[in-house]
């Protein structure tokens, strides 16, 4: 059920981008009990004029390796599960592909289960 959107500065190799997407999905599986094969992600690369952020908001020093992660999920998780997800994503991304924790920005969008269609014009969760 998650839809993962990843934005970062252009220039990283395909393996780097794939590692980010894969590790986010694995963190979702570990903390949100996302099923196997429920993996849908996009990676958008931007030049410096199209990737704008404050390098010190909340007193967190960000670099040009900042990765913006937005996930749309069903609104069925607790605050504790969300905190666990954020921690696990950072743990996984610091190991592979080697991001700094300060360069992982996460935004979670929650929707009702009937707001999903996985194909064939059906609302599979409704």
Catalytic residue numbers read 2
Cα 71 to the center of its chain, rounded Å: 5
Beta-bridge partners for 104: 67
Measured CA to CA, the distance from residue 51 to residue 38 in angstroms comes to 28
- Return the H-helix or E-strand segment holding 82: helix 79-95
Phi first, then psi, for residue 73 (nearest 5°) are: -140, 165
**Largest Cα span, the chain:** 46
């Amino acid at each position: 059920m998650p839809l993962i959107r990843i934005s970062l500065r252009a220039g990283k190799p395909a393996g780097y981008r794939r590692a980010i997407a894969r590790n986010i999905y694995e963190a979702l599986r570990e903390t949100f009990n996302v099923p196997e094969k429920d993996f849908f992600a996009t990676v958008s690369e931007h030049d410096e004029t199209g990737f704008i952020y404050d390098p010190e908001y909340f007193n967190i020093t960000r670099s040009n390796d900042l990765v913006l992660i937005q996930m749309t999920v069903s609104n069925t998780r607790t605050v504790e599960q969300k905190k666990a997800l954020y921690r696990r994503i950072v743990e996984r991304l610091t190991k592979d592909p080697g991001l700094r924790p300060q360069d992982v920005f996460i935004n979670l969008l929650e929707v009702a289960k009937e707001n999903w269609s996985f194909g064939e014009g059906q609302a599979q969760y409704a």
